[in-house]
Amino acid sequence: MEPDRLVTGVASVDRLLGGGLETDSVTEIYGEGGSGKTLFCLDVAVRVARSGKWVFYVDTEGVSVDRLHAIAGNELDRILKRFLLSSPKELDEQGRAVATACALAREGKRPVGLIVVDSATMFYRLSLSSSDEDTARQSLVLEVADLVATALAVPVPVLITNQVWRSVSEGTLEPLGGSFLNHAAKTILRFERLPGPRRRVVLVKHRSLPEGSAEFRITSSGLEGSG
Ligand code: ATP
Ligand code: MG
Query: Which residue type is seen at 29?
Result: I
Ligand 1 atom closest to residue 31's alpha carbon, by position in its atom list = 6
Cα(64) to centroid(ligand 2), Å: 10
Ligand 2 is an ion; residues with CB less than 5 A from it? 37-38
CA of 36 to the centre of ligand 1 (A): 5
Coil, helix or strand for 30?
strand
**1 alpha carbon – ligand 2 mean position (Å):** 35
For CA atoms 57, 63, 67, 69, the dihedral sign is: positive
What gap in Å lies between CA 37 and CA 163, rounded to an integer?
10
Burial class from Cβ neighbours inside 10 Å (0-12, 13-18, 19+) for residue 52 reads exposed
Please indicate whether residue 169, judged by its CB atom, sits closer than 6 Å to ligand 1: no
pLDDT in tens, the chain (227 residues): 556 899 999 999 999 999 999 999 999 999 999 999 999 999 999 999 999 999 999 999 988 888 999 999 999 999 999 999 999 999 999 999 999 999 999 999 999 999 999 999 999 999 988 899 999 999 999 999 999 999 999 999 999 999 999 999 999 999 998 889 999 999 999 999 999 999 999 999 999 999 999 999 999 999 999 85
Domains of the chain: 5-225 (3.40.50.300)
| Torsion sign across C-alpha atoms 125, 189, 174, 39 | negative
Nearest-angstrom CA–CA distance, 197 and 210? 26
